[in-house]
Structure 1
């Protein structure tokens, strides 16, 4: 099937709960202004930890964001963010009256639920102090709160989505895979509309300590949290953990137009790959990221010089930033040095399973306002990294197409292309 014969997939709504704001417009405004949401950890006492900062959501009230008690009853903290973002996205997408609920689905990335380390410590204390050997009992509610499918199921209920259901857990590429799977379901005709994105809330003492012990988190700037995350800077030495959710409404273009929805942008291509290298490290030669980027561009039927902006995975770890730079340079060739490349993680921290959703907000904002958000804290450029990373201040420039990158532990890569609501680049005039 040719590109012109395939069903086109557009974005008609987007919602967010992030360290930058508790809605999508506020999140984009913060990105465009270069404002950081990294702060001292408040979810637990981190005063004795080697890392005491994170990108944290503040001022969020799940009761207000998710009004019906039955919808929030079993939500974890992260799932609460996700459902709130879905409510916002559906409201922006507009009334679904007259549409078929069996043609609406859900595709969400999130972390697999597990017992909190504090609960394990409590179990251990009980056994050691009392000799109690019976099974440590938990309520059904506690079990449901750890189930990664509860949040997406609530989203499905709110949106009356009775079609395809996809729940993925691919760590930092989760939202990208979820958006890509939703794109494929619509493109292949299995659905007309999908709620898609990701959520996560790993600012727990187990996760912060675990990532710190891996050496993945920066220990810089505990007293100046907003200065800590430094993607592509010569001083970079680790990422800042974040939390939040971004959920979008993806829809078949003609279906959206028929019901009078506003088209925010188009998902024009998607691809994924594996590095088969190491569990935590990015391959120095760019590895599978090159494959995913090239295949996403090919799926969108775009040339490298059709793209003006790459929303980088850009974690701030030495290896990831170097590997991603090599991959972008390989894929785009001479055009790589005419691209703008920036990392929203410099402002929000790493939202893990929701990270690519934040990158989607950056892509849509760049296309809508012809403005590329910056990479903040980039004060000492690494001479080995030679691309334009938009240091510290947003830049006005023409943006026709955006490539979004998402790379994760385990070596999994997912990339997608976002274009504006009008003709795709290269279709305005014959090639």
Structure 2
């Protein structure tokens, strides 16, 4: 039989979402390079390797329970069906009415959503960097994927109470990024600062990353992967709307890079590359909620504001004695909050109607209604994720401990956890060198 127009449209949509899922999974490369490059070489192999480990654990946990808890039929709080996903039409019909009528096979939707859960988990690990036990990654990966991520995911995307209210979070500023960032913040608070980060008077010391080129490459991988992250969330390509989403995403990202570099230059006296990279990521995080709801000019504003916010909050957190090695909460948390609120300001009536979620923002005649929904969604999500992650991590700390010993931390997690250095040739006598600090750093600004 000749394929119908519907068949062709479904094939195009399915191909695009599958490609997007692959792009989002490839973002794990970006996280591995960024986090390894932004930390010390004695931990580089450990940090890169645990990215592969935790993606594997997340995949199994999301397949068995996480997908059903997030998207399965249930109530306004949690999904209760679709566990141990088998990809069958029978299970899809019985357990995932939220996906009924979708032109994309549920197997592809599963892979796409798995990639999102894995990104959120990767963000969380930023707060654990350079001092957490490897065993914690095993246990907490499962608990995050089952107890934390699915609940807010169901509230916003799975037909839960925030979905019923019309909360606008197109690709996950709250669902993905803010959740991971809150966990990173809780971990940072419970693990305490790295050895040598702060002096007795409270002033902070710069602990520079060992490879800025890795960090740049990681951010570029993430920038490219984000086109799948945001564009793929259209769940189709046949109407071409994914192109519009890609445009707003890119404009915001470019604005964030420029704004963050400019503000670092003004404040620090030097054009700081790590600040620029954080500006790129924060803008990507912020536009993730609003990319389908706002005009291009608003995307530029959202990106620029996020870049500036991230710079100043990074300085403030450092001043407060919070050692967040890769600025996970500033980049993904503060920007996630701003991005989620921004739809309540800038969402246009036409785009809100096209997407079919919520209404116009404050600046487009919607009053405070949509902004209030966004704020309520943020409050509920922050409260739940902070409370549960704190309870879980505090319990793990009491039972098994979260942090490696002082000796293990000093020698580095490559050797202490894996028995081999990430750069073994540098173990030769006289070969290890400490990277020089920049003339002025965020740590110095905060002091």
Greater fraction helix: 2
**Is the shorter-chain TM-score for this pair beyond 0.5, marking a shared fold?**
no
Classify the TM-score, shorter chain. Answer: under 0.3
TM superposition score normalised by structure 2 = 0.26
Structure with the higher strand share, 1 or 2: 1
**TM-score (normalised: structure 1):** 0.26
